Structure 1
Amino acid sequence: MAGVPWTPAAAEVHQYLTAALSHGGAAALPYAWDARWMVHQHLAALSHAFPTLRPTAGHFTHNDGRRATLLRAEGTIPLATSSSACLPVSIWLLEAYPHRPPAVFLSFPPGTAVKPRHPLVDPSGSVSVPYLCSWIFPYYNLIDLVRSLAHLFSQDPPFAVSPIAIHDAKAGETAKVVEAVQRHLAAAGKSHTAEMEALLDTQTLLKRRKAEIARGLTGLEEEKELLEQQLQMLTMNCDVTASWVAKNHRRPTASLDGVFEPSDGHSRRTMECVAADMAAEDVMYALDEALREGCVPLDAYLKSVRTMSREQFFHRAFSAKLAPPQP
């Protein structure tokens, strides 16, 4: 038998079976330790091949009254008669499994009963098919057993349905449909209500943004008018400046040195001393920058600074003599 692909459902079944079969002591299942791996493999493979059959543990009562906690595969088996036809079944793995066949029982849906004198099922629901009667380990397994049950019961369904049960089933189906429609309508109503609330919120947001855009446009219009006024003023100033330039651009340019003339010889000497003092200050500043940038060696820098300081001292002293006495 091939291994079971590792899927989330298979992982869940594997986890459940591992936990159930690993118990010891009083809670241990009554399977031989050397057979537990085979029990695990058979149930996991069956659950993968028929997802409607899930392994569970339950209390089983033998014909002699003994009770035991055993594993079973419980669910439905699909039949070939219809895509929706299925057979509720419980497959119990007895203590001697897999060396002895499992016990198979049918579950009775409401309003149904086993057909009288059915060759494969007794009135209690116990199933006896050739596959179980000829069980030989290790050639037989649960998957082939379920396939045999599906084939046999598709040819001869075991249940007889009464007219009352059919009516009740139809009424139950109608009630299920009505309930499903009501649930759908309720869900649709909630969805539409939520959608309307979202649309109303969006409408409110759009109105608020419309007002903000209107205020922004008003502010831009006002700013545009202000800029146009400023542009007109600048244009007028440019025209005035252009007119002045047109009138005065041919006049001879006066020398900056001739703009300010000293009134007498004393003032001329004072102005020359101040100019020489400031020139010496500028030269020493330039020497500082040149030394900082490494353009002038230190000895040349010191020599030049001493020279300029001496000249600046003489100019300042001469300027102090020329200054009028303070009252």
Structure 2
Amino acid sequence: MAVDTERLRQWLSNYHNPDVAYRDILRVTNQYRGLHPEQDVYTFNDGTRMELVNLSGTIPVRYRGAVYNIPICIWLIDTHPKNAPICYVKPTPDMSIKVSMFVDQNGKIYLPYLHDWLPNSSDLIGLIQVLIVTFGEQPPVFAKAKDSDMPYPPNSFMAPGGSYNIPPYPPTSYPPSSTGFGGYPPYPPSSNTSFPGYPPYTAPYPPYPPANNFGGPSPGVGTGTIKDEHIRESLLTAIEEKLLRRMKEQFQQNQAELETLKRTQEELKQGKAKLDSILSRLEKEQNDLDKNITLLKDKEQELNNAIERISNQETIDVDDAVTTTAPLYKQLLNAFAEEAALEDAIYYMGEALRCGVIDLDVFLRQVRTLSRKQFMLRALMQKCRQKAGLSV
């Protein structure tokens, strides 16, 4: 059945996160064609009634090599995905609920996945996959007994791979109990409670049918009297299922803790490597800093000695102080000084022309002469630098 997306968006308009709920529902309906969205009124334990969207239909469950269509209904709370959905098994009139640690007598489903629901990592696809695996180990329904005590016909509801017409699902078909099955609290919209243990046994459940009767003939009930061996078998089955569940939960918890410890160990190793690298770099920088401090102290001492030596000497003539070590350098120094003097002379000739001290003809004649000398001096300096191996 194709999903009416416009109607679905209208149903989800009052949800806190309508876009997230819309995407989750479409992912489910695209992968599991037996489920489709509906809107109905849900009644909570305190009597509150609210229009909610649910996913009704069947999911394929493999049991002993055959595939069975198990009817379920998943109610999405208006705070989805912040809070876990509320799930039910919806048997047909010809089927009965098989009560277990996962399903109570009203069909309400209890799973660790729902109890440990995380908004950022849990979703409807993961929930349905957990339901398929759980129901594959413990089927939630079995066929009712008939007067003729004959097996179901091949095309009945529980035939492998078969189909059925889903009966109407009124909101009060599964009235939530005050305590839930086995002492488990029901799932209100903001359920964050934990599962306590089973309460004392008060009323026996009907004997469970053998596993190979799932979807086949109903269990022989004879006169309908519940015998002591039936009660004993029921108690032993409940205890066995409870112990198995506790063992699985303990194993999963230990495995999760082990994985967490492994990740923590890897993070600590990576942190240790980073700290070792940082310490090594800091030690190297500290050694370089000590060397630089020693060098600066030596240079400071040299400067202090030079200042003291110069302060004790007489005034030095700059012209006498500037000497060269070779005739080539002296020629380069003289050419540079003369070229700088010509540059100043040309500047002051321009100032004299601007002030009217000399006329234009005198200015041009003198500037031409000075520029020619300046050009020759620059060529001489370039040749001297090449000869001395200096940069040009």
TM-score by length of 2: 0.37
TM-score by length of 1: 0.44
Q: Which has the higher helix share?
A: 1
Higher relative contact order (CA 8 A, sep 6+): 2
